[in-house]
Structure 1
Amino acid sequence: MEKHRHFIIHKPFGFISQFVNNKTRKKRLLGELHQFPEGTMAVGRLDAKSEGLLFLTTDGKLSDTICSSKVSKEYYVQLNGEITTEAVAELESGVEIGFEGKRYVTKPCSAKILLEAPEFSERSKKIRDDRHGKTSWVSITINEGKFRQVRKMTAAVGFPTLRLVRVRVGNVQLENMEIGAVEEVTEFKVF
């Protein structure tokens, strides 16, 4: 029986969560960061503008488990403007977003204002600074993963996302991984 291999990566801004680009646009691929074994797949995608913790595995069953609603995903999100407690309460109770051409109400989640900006390395593409208006940070933890869901949620309550970093999946934390770092892990426990 073939032994599956598992990796965690701190996905940088500008990379897509795949190994093949079928579009004509030039996108940076995960294979540029590390030589992964054949059959490796990204588990739960992060779009090109998003950063943070990404799992990679050769085990399809594990991929399905991590993508399920059983496993929570936490994001630190920098927002355009100073988010209000009312907007955080809206996020927590569920907001209406567009998904696959239809209106969708997100499931209840956990959201809280971060009083201090998290310490992340500077992003390769600069984010506007406070001269263009205040920004704020929130933590959002969801158990679902619709297409660009967190970005759509913050926009729905009037605070568009400027930077999005996934910091936790299940009980696995991003912690102090450098941007672009890849670690092979032998045990992959997300609960």
Structure 2
Amino acid sequence: MNHYYIIYKPYLVQSQFSPVEGKRTLADFFDVPKDVYPVGRLDHDSEGLLILTNDKQLNHRLLHPSFQHEREYWVQVDGAITTTAIQELQRGVNISIDGKKHRTLPCSVSVFSNEPQVPIRNPPIRYRKEIPAPWIRMVLKEGKNRQVRRMTASVGFPTLRLIRYRIEDITIDGLQPGDIVDLSRKQLYQQLFHE
């Protein structure tokens, strides 16, 4: 039987159930059947939406680059990000992935006019009164390793906090870190693939 869950992965938690010495994993927060695993990953220092399943077909359809699903990230950056930097991110920037140069695909990037309502992070970001830390919204159709962090750093505004808010029509609205929602295959596939 296939299972489908969406979770809000907390900060400083590995995106796996198998133990990692000295680090918290999904097993510390979520009690799911043994054959369920995360589709894709979020870095240890990122938080937000992860899909858990034992549906191997879903894994392929979400992770294969040919499908280009939208992934929306809410990103708090270090410094008052400029219009020029936003435009560079939108057009695509050069980042290094495993020692090779990668040009990111064009994407949608905008600055939040009001700070988004997000859970308090523990520990919080390093706060410096004299340096702004605005939030931007980035919608990508690819998911390279640490891509968002590499992108914002490449235009001079390092990422302080990173939340994956959405994959296609599935969001973490109403969820807190450590929350889990059980979905049917139909619900999940409708929201991901509009089937």
Quick check: TM above 0.5? yes
Q: Which has the higher helix share?
A: 2
SS, match of residue 131 in structure 1:
coil
- 1:133 equivalent in alignment to 2:131: yes
Q: Distance in 1 between matches of 2:102 and 2:150?
A: 11
What percentage of residue pairs aligned between the two structures are identical? 39
Give the one of 62, 66, 79 matched to 1:66: 62
Deviation at 1:37, TM superposition (A): 0.6
Equivalence for 1:146: 144
How many residue pairs match? The answer is 187
Deviation at 1:6, TM superposition (A): 0.6
After superposition, residues 38-187 of structure 1 pair within 5 angstroms as 38-68=34-64, 69-186=67-184, 187=187
Equivalence for 1:33: 29
Give the counterpart letter for 1:39 in structure 2.
D
Give the counterpart letter for 1:139 in structure 2.
R
Q: Distance in 2 between matches of 1:99 and 1:70?
A: 18
Q: Distance in 1 between matches of 2:48 and 2:176?
A: 10
Deviation at 1:7, TM superposition (A): 0.5
Report the TM-score, using the length of structure 2 for normalisation: 0.92
Stretches of 4+ aligned residues off by more than 4 angstroms: none
Gaps of 5+ in 1: none
RMSD: 1.2
Q: Distance in 2 between matches of 1:44 and 1:107?
A: 19
Q: Distance in 1 between matches of 2:142 and 2:56?
A: 18
Deviation at 1:116, TM superposition (A): 1.2
